[in-house]
Structure 1
Amino acid sequence: MCVISNSFILDDPDLKDIDPTVLKHCHAAAATCILEAGRQKADISAISTCLEDCKLDKERIEQFCTEYQKNKDALEILLGSIGRSPLHITDVSWRLEYQIKNNQLHKTYQPSYLVTLNVENSNSGSHPDVSFSCTMEQLQDLVGKLKDAAKSLERATQM
């Protein structure tokens, strides 16, 4: 599992003027659309209709559908490897990493966290590690969402 840092996205000159929160929501919406299309084995006409309802222009719809079609087999393999039951997190470890340069040799001087989740899948009993990198803001967002989920679960079990 890999998380693309906001700095990579914001390095694109075409996206410099867009609010980072809006970019985050757009990325999440696109990922959800792609995953749902793969999960439901949607054909190109169904995807096109959905994107037309979202007011995308024909050129973008065609580009999206072309890229989706190119990667459809790999997406289905990936979704098939996930299985039907969610992973159970058994432990977490993290470490602080301070990145001085990126792949393009630009100086970044940006701290990030390398997080490893020890998980087990109830179907296979295996214990693969899930690792990703995130910024302080992304880590705080993750912790906040986990707290919210724990509170929701607690409320649901009290009913």
Structure 2
Amino acid sequence: PRDPAHTACACTRACARGRRRVCEPRDDPDLQDIDPAVLKQCHAAAATCILEAGRQRADVAAISTCLEDCKLDKERIEQFCTEYQKNKDALEILLGSIGRSPLHITDVSWRLEYQIKTNQLHKTYQPSYLVTLNVESDSGSHPDVSFSCTMEQLQDLVGKLKDAAKSLERATQM
């Protein structure tokens, strides 16, 4: 197994480059021996820290203090700050492109997909749904948001949206 500090640095490096998706083992050979669930958690933690630092325009001293409070060792703090500094300008541009107001969903479309083989040529025969959210924002048009999910994931999403709608309805009646 690889050194945890080396792995943390590789994950931070992937996040600091401003990728819009979870780092994957094929993206970086240093990440190949890591359990995908652990990698996903590490990516979420690093991305949250990087985005918050970028949003607050934090300097290295402020980031170091925050990471020391989280009990990170000095070596990891230095690695994190180095990667953050290297990619700070690109991250600020990326954050600026997101805008200040959340996207507004104007329409939803979906279609049934039927995956026969994976890219490793394994037969799967799994139905899935391709969902497309048409969105807009105050700053102009944005590309549609598309994702693929299983029937169970789609049912879970619909259930959570119904819960959110009920919660909002209760809040407005108070």
Structure-1-length-normalised TM-score: 0.66
Q: Deviations over 1:90-147 (max 9, x none)?
A: 1122345556676787888776644321011x42453531223456665555444433
Change in Cα spacing, 1:151 to 1:47, as seen in structure 2 (3 Å) is farther
**C-alpha separation in 1, matches of 2:45 and 2:80:** 13
Measured after TM superposition, the shift of residue 73 of structure 1 is 1.4
Change in Cα spacing, 1:53 to 1:111, as seen in structure 2 (3 Å) is farther
**C-alpha separation in 1, matches of 2:155 and 2:81:** 34
**C-alpha separation in 2, matches of 1:60 and 1:155:** 45
Count of aligned residue pairs for this structure pair:
148
2:65 is paired with a residue whose SS is helix
- What percentage of residue pairs aligned between the two structures are identical? 95
Structure-2-length-normalised TM-score: 0.61
2:141 is paired with a residue whose SS is coil
**Deviates further, 73-82 or 104-113:** 104-113
Change in Cα spacing, 1:111 to 1:44, as seen in structure 2 (3 Å) is farther
Of the two, which has the highest radius of gyration? 2
Change in Cα spacing, 1:108 to 1:61, as seen in structure 2 (3 Å) is farther
**C-alpha separation in 1, matches of 2:98 and 2:92:** 10
Larger RCO (CA under 8 A, 6+ residues apart): 1
CA RMSD of aligned residues (A): 3.9
Q: Deviations over 1:5-39 (max 9, x none)?
A: xxxxxx99998998876655443332221111111
Does residue 147 in structure 1 map to residue 165 in structure 2? no
**Deviates further, 33-42 or 92-101:** 92-101
**C-alpha separation in 1, matches of 2:101 and 2:160:** 20
Change in Cα spacing, 1:57 to 1:97, as seen in structure 2 (3 Å) is farther
Q: Please say if residues 107 and 135 of structure 2, whose CA atoms lie closer than 8 Å, have aligned partners that are also in contact.
A: yes
